[in-house]
């Protein structure tokens, strides 16, 4: 009998020992796998990333399970002594604690979901300022839009690189980081170059990339022209496409592995030094859900130096502070969840009264610059609407995070784009995403019309409040002239009082677009800014402040201009 018990005991010890060795091996391999996974993918370690937390829980549990019960005590006691069994109770306790923590994490995710915290999600965007059309589009605000879309700018950038055979065989444009920013007063698109294959990436990883491409997309430009910028003195060594520890993702992770990072954007400081701006997201609800911009990490693309900033303390040359997708998601939650999670659902108990939504697809929103700050603008429409009309327009400042809602119903961006394309359907042109501008006091969508190759062939203007009021032209000058002819018999949404008489010029500036010179004039007796075309009067280039002229206007456009008295 004793021999049998001894045999059973040895068998038990062998099984336990083998199981412990398997556990140790699994722990070692799991830890190595975890480190390799983090090295490759740089996943944040925080409550928002529940998957990574659960992996860490499992590794901790496996480590505790490999600890010996108390071998000396076990050997000194008789076999099958029940008191020995209690030595493993602490492992059972730890297991239960781990299961409890994992359950708590799952519960926190459920408790902070949109189902139970819909009102809190609706308020993440903060206060929205209600404004009128003239509060945004007026003579005090410098409005700038772009007639060159991303695809046209990209074609110009790739063409520029293709002209240089020695570069085109090594580099291509990093399309994923083709950012629109303000640089030295101009609206531009910039992108770093990237190596065309892993061979070059590996060989030149430490050297970096000595070029980035810039395309001027200012509002006085209608054709894209790219410029290749040589930065051999501070090449881009740290980027999303760099390898190993020069990868931008890895730099951010090593800076703080507990941060959740948003998508990086390519920026330039005043001296043309390349940086990447990376949003650091916080999680409003128990650190699990409810994304908001917490901080910003600026990484010098040449040195890899990384500095954190509060959103309000970010250097002034950084244009893109708040991520586009974050602001669009917060705005969408604001309009759809204010009556609760079930409000927008098609349920018997749903309360859909007053609910709205916004257009968040990439072709349904655009960017506009107001006083050097870049805004996203998109339409707000009834939740049950078909998507062709808007009840208002939303403007979101991606530098400050402030949001304005323009209280003016009209046509959606997508409907205007479709109408512009259909107006020249026989030509086969397609329209770019519309810009909303003030054309002689009329809120107007302005679009470039392109062929399949991306070549610009004309422009379209469509009235924001009425799709039937539209015009086409081969140039901006022509389409504006045709549009104002169409609008001649229609009242403006904003003040377009006609004035006639003699006035003294207070200030006059000229802008040339496609070879056509436009003059912006302010009269001492009027607060508005008026425009005049060069063809109106041959004396316009010689007019200065103090000269007295006789004019007639239609809205803010001068239709008659004669010199009365020269200063």
pLDDT one-digit tens code per residue, 144-187: 999 999 999 999 999 999 998 888 889 999 999 999 999 998 89
Judge whether residue 563 has pLDDT over 70: yes
Cα distances (angstroms) measured from residue 442 to each of 213, 413, 496: 36, 16, 8
Q: Which residues of 538-558 are buried (b: 16+ CB within 10 A; e: fewer)?
A: eebeebeeebebebebbbbbb
Where residue 189 falls among pLDDT bands split at 50, 70, 90? very high
CB 239 within 8 A of CB 275: no
Q: Which residue carries 């949003």 as its tokens?
A: 279
Q: Please report the pLDDT score of residue 133 as a whole number.
A: 94
Distance, in Å, from the CA atom of 63 to the CA atom of 27, rounded to the nearest integer, reads 7
Distance, in Å, from the CA atom of 177 to the CA atom of 197, rounded to the nearest integer, reads 17
Q: Please report the pLDDT score of residue 37 as a whole number.
A: 82
Average pLDDT over residues 475-503: 75
Distance, in Å, from the CA atom of 133 to the CA atom of 146, rounded to the nearest integer, reads 20
Global pTM value:
0.80
Q: Please report the pLDDT score of residue 154 as a whole number.
A: 94
Q: 239: which DSSP letter? A: B
Q: Using DSSP bridges, classify how beta strands 529-533 and 466-473 pair: parallel, antiparallel or unpaired.
A: unpaired
Q: Can you give the three-state secondary structure of 457-498, one letter per residue?
A: EEEEEEECCEEEEEEEECCHHHHHHHHHHHHCCCCCCCCCCC
Task: Specify the range with the lowest mean pLDDT, choosing from 53-57, 284-288, 291-295.
Answer: 53-57
Long-range Cβ contact pairs of 162-167 (< 8 A, separation 24 or more): 164/228, 167/193, 167/211, 167/228
Q: What percent of the chain is modeled with pLDDT above 90?
A: 48
Where residue 235 falls among pLDDT bands split at 50, 70, 90? very high
Q: What is the DSSP string of 154-200?
A: HHHHHHHHHT-HHHHTTEEE-GGG-EEEEETTEEEEEEEEEESSHHH
Q: Please report the pLDDT score of residue 426 as a whole number.
A: 86
Strands in 360-514 per DSSP E:
365-370, 373-382, 389-390, 392-397, 403-406, 410-411, 430-431, 435-439, 442-450, 456-463, 466-473, 500-513
Average pLDDT along the chain: 86
Q: What does R_g of the chain's alpha carbons equal in angstroms?
A: 32
Q: Please report the pLDDT score of residue 68 as a whole number.
A: 67
Where residue 76 falls among pLDDT bands split at 50, 70, 90? very low
């Amino acid at each position: 009998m004793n021999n049998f018990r001894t045999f059973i005991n040895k068998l038990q010890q062998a099984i336990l020992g083998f199981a412990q060795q398997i556990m140790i091996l699994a722990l070692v391999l799991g830890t190595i796998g975890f480190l390799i996974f983090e090295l490759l993918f740089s996943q944040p370690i925080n409550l928002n990333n529940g998957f990574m937390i659960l992996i860490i829980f499992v590794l901790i549990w496996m480590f505790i399970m490999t600890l010996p019960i108390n071998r000396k005590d076990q050997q000194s006691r008789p076999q099958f002594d029940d008191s020995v069994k209690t030595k493993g109770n602490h492992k059972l306790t730890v297991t239960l604690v781990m299961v409890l923590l994992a359950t708590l994490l799952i519960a926190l995710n459920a408790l902070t979901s949109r189902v139970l915290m819909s009102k809190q999600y609706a308020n993440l965007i903060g206060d929205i300022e209600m404004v009128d059309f003239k509060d945004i589009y007026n003579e005090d605000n410098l409005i700038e839009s772009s007639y060159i879309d991303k695809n046209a700018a990209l074609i110009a950038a790739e063409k520029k690189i293709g002209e240089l055979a020695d570069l085109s065989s090594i580099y291509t444009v990093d399309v994923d980081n083709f950012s629109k920013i303000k640089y030295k007063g101009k609206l531009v698109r910039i992108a770093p170059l990237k190596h065309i294959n892993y061979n070059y990436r590996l060989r030149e990883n430490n050297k970096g990339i000595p070029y980035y491409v810039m395309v001027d997309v200012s509002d006085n430009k209608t054709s894209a022209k790219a410029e290749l910028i040589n930065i051999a003195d501070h090449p881009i060594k740290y980027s999303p496409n760099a390898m190993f520890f020069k990868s931008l993702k890895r730099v951010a992770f090593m800076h703080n592995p507990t941060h959740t990072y948003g998508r990086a954007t390519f920026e330039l400081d005043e001296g043309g030094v390349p940086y990447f701006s990376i949003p650091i997201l916080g999680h409003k609800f128990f650190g699990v859900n409810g994304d908001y911009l917490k901080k910003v990490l600026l990484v010098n693309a040449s040195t890899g130096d990384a500095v954190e900033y509060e959103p309000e303390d970010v250097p002034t040359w950084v244009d893109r502070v708040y991520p586009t997708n974050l602001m669009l998601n917060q705005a969408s939650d604001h309009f759809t969840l204010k009556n609760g999670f079930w409000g927008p659902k098609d349920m018997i108990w749903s309360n859909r009264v007053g609910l709205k939504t916004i257009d968040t697809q990439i072709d349904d929103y655009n960017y506009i610059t107001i006083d050097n700050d870049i805004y996203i603008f998109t339409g707000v429409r009834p939740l049950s609407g078909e998507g062709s009309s808007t009840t208002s327009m939303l403007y979101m400042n991606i530098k400050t995070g402030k949001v304005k809602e323009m209280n003016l119903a009209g046509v959606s961006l997508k409907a205007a784009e479709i109408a512009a394309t259909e107006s020249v359907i026989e030509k086969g042109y397609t329209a770019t995403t519309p810009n909303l501008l003030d054309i002689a006091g009329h809120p107007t969508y302005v679009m470039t019309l392109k062929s399949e190759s991306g070549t610009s062939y004309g422009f379209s203007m469509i009235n924001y409040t009425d799709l039937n009021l539209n015009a086409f032209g081969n140039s901006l000058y022509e389409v504006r002239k045709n549009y104002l002819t169409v609008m001649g018999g229609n009242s403006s949404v904003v003040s377009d009082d006609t004035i006639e008489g003699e006035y003294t010029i207070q200030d006059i500036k000229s802008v040339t677009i496609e070879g056509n010179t436009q003059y912006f004039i302010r009269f001492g007796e009027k607060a508005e800014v008026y425009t005049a075309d060069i063809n109106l009067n041959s004396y316009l280039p010689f007019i200065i402040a103090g000269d007295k002229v006789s004019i007639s206007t239609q809205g803010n456009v001068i239709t008659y201009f004669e010199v009365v008295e020269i200063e």
